[in-house]
Amino acid sequence: MTTRVASDERSAAETEIPLDRDVFMRRLLRELSGTLEDVVGLEEASGYISVVGAAMGERLDGEYRRALAVERLDREQVAAALVDLKRRIEGDFYVIEESEDRIVLGNRACPFGDMVRDRPSLCMMTSNVFGHLAAQNLGYAAVSLDETIALGAPGCRVTIHLRPSDAAGSDTREYFRRGDAPLP
């Protein structure tokens, strides 16, 4: 049995619901990360998202190497690739500092938009993509998420340490070029 809608009522397609594929996917990731944080805790949720971030980092690293026709990116190319990849997904990252010891990036807009607020596990995507790309090309990286929009800061500040001696701090995650990881 079909019920007819009165002619003065709008159809679902005519409503102004702020929903498109991008908004849907960001909300999906927000809910997924929130569920993981609630069920297994922030540290474990961050671990799960880290696995996905590493896979994304590997894919993006390969794409930048192919596009630039190089075997490995140098430090300047790594910094440029990190800023570029975030720009392509509507982040607003920029280089604050670049030296032999580290790359420091700032950010004014998260690719997850407002959906990142109170979801710090989503920042593991940035940490792992940045860490993987830097380590695969430069041999080593340790990523420190110094400030994040997810935790209420107006922007992000991310430090990618390029030498193990500079990678101090409990919130720093280390990344090694495949085959270069230290033995336990």
pLDDT, residue 180, reads 57
CA–CA distances in Å: residue 114 to residues 64, 82, 84, 94, 182 = 28, 21, 21, 19, 38
pLDDT, residue 10, reads 78
Spatial distance between the Cα atoms of 15 and 124, rounded to a whole number of angstroms: 36
pLDDT, residue 166, reads 65
pLDDT, residue 169, reads 64
Domains belonging to the chain, first-starting first, are 20-176 (3.30.1380.20)
Alpha-carbon torsion 161, 166, 167, 169, what sign? negative
pLDDT, residue 183, reads 39
Residue type (1 letter), 18: P
Strand order across the beta sheet in which 140-147 lies: 93-98, 102-107, 156-161, 140-147, 172-176
pLDDT in tens for each of the 184 residues of the chain?
666 555 567 788 788 888 888 889 989 998 999 999 999 999 999 888 989 989 999 999 999 999 999 999 999 999 999 999 999 999 999 999 999 999 999 999 999 999 999 999 999 999 999 999 999 999 999 999 999 999 999 999 999 999 987 666 657 899 999 865 443 3
